[in-house]
Amino acid sequence: MPRKITAIIASFVLVVALVFIWRTIRPSPPAIHQAPRIGAGEVLAEETVKAVRNQGRVVVVTVGEPTQKRAPADARLDAFRKELRKHSSISHSATEFVWPDARVNEALPGCSSGAFGELLQRHANATALVFLIGLPSWESVSAIIPQGRSPKFIVMDTPLDALKKSHYRGYFASGLLSALIVPRRENSSDHVTNPKTPREWFHNEYQIFTRENYESLPE
């Protein structure tokens, strides 16, 4: 074999070996701790199952450009889908994308009333809408919600410090909002020390409000 070809092959092998060694010994990038978000997805699914009484069509609404075709990687959504697949009588029929725009949403960061109305029209036959984004104010949408046949809502919203009871009172009082999941403001009295499972992480970092306890939301 000519020396030139031998040298090229040797150089190639050396480069491959060096790349392998570098990838082996380099420090790993810090992993994003996903356990609380996985737990949140599992609980979202459980609350959805309760809301639809283990039967029906579910639509997920998350943040994104309305024209995009696929949801970006989201541990909550992945865990939600995995958990929901355990219930054969419930189908995840669609994922919708809403881009928050405070300029058209009364200075609020969540779903605008216009986008909310379009979702209700497009999915009039859905059993539940699961929002990974906050809802618009009740006053701005109550008149456009069909009476007697609206889907149930399950919502995961922004940090609790930004929430007010008045924002969700109408949704809860109407019976349309089945569950609201938000980050905790402080540790609970039964805080899990050294949490290991996604559910334990969820318990420490999030809390659930329902029609039974929403009055404890801040004014």
Q: With helix as H, strand as E and coil as C, how does the chain read?
A: CCHHHHHHHHHHHHHHHHHHHHHHHCCCCCCCCCHHHHHHHHHHHHHHHHHHCCCEEEEEEEECCCCCCCCCCCHHHHHHHHHHCCCCCEEEEEEEEECCCHHHCCCCCCCCHHHHHHHHHHCCCCCEEEECCCCCCHHHHHHHCCCCCCCEEEEECCCHHHCCHHHHHHHHHHCCEEEEEEECCCCCCCCCCCCCCHHHHHHHHEEEECCCCHHHCCC
Strand bridging mode 177-183 / 206-209:
antiparallel
Q: Rounded CA gap, 201 and 150, in Å?
A: 33
Q: Rounded CA gap, 112 and 50, in Å?
A: 26
* pLDDT for res 187: 72
Q: Rounded CA gap, 97 and 64, in Å?
A: 5
Only one residue has tokens 């075709």, namely 69
Q: What angle do CA 129, 208, 206 make, to 5 degrees?
A: 110
pLDDT in tens, the chain (219 residues): 565 555 555 454 444 443 333 344 444 434 458 999 999 999 999 999 999 999 999 999 999 888 888 888 899 999 999 999 999 999 999 999 998 876 765 656 789 999 999 999 999 999 999 999 999 999 999 999 988 788 999 999 977 666 778 889 999 999 999 999 999 877 777 889 999 999 999 999 999 999 999 998 877
Reference 96, options 55, 132, 135; nearest CA is: 132
* pLDDT for res 38: 95
